[in-house]
Amino acid sequence: MKNNVLRSVSMIGFLFLMVGAASYACAAQSLETPDGSKIELPATCPVCEMKMASDSDVKAVIVFSDGKVVPFDKISDFFRYLLAPDTFGFDPKNVKKTFVLEHDSKKFVGPKDAIFVLGPETVPMMGPEMEAFSNKADAEKFASGAKDKKILAFSQVSLQDVGPKKKMMKMKH
């Protein structure tokens, strides 16, 4: 009898542990933006097709009027998408909100309030990358010492700056 009670208590404890772990896993599979929109993870960047498996992989987001949320793994991909609506098949008038991940705080900010540092291509096939900063002094400090970095406001970023994403050859399995 004592063994049966012990087994029952152990089984109940195990079940509570499993339910808690499952709840945690489910909660970790979505990321909330400052406007309350949710990004379901894993997600795929529409520009480079890289998979974003965790919230730390998401660097920028576009929220559309219909509730559709499009995440990006790089800020430069966000601009490639936003600046080429015909290529990606969306109407810019339907963009409700946009967010970029601020370099220092790792929090989403509005891109129109950010200062961007455009760097050289870190991976030759991927194009130049960007970081967002809340203020110009932090952006200048980050860019100092690097000859190939540009500091730009949101309105100054062009498709020429970020360059079109080069398609990587895909291997057949």
Contact 50, 133 (CB under 8 A): no
Average pLDDT of 23-48?
82
What residue ranges do the domains of the chain occupy?
30-161
pLDDT in tens, 119-153: 865 554 566 789 999 999 999 998 887 777 899 99
Burial letters 62-101, b for 16+ CB under 10 A, else e: bbeeeeebbbbbbbbbbbbbbbbeeeeebeeeeeebbbbb
pTM higher than 0.85, yes or no? no
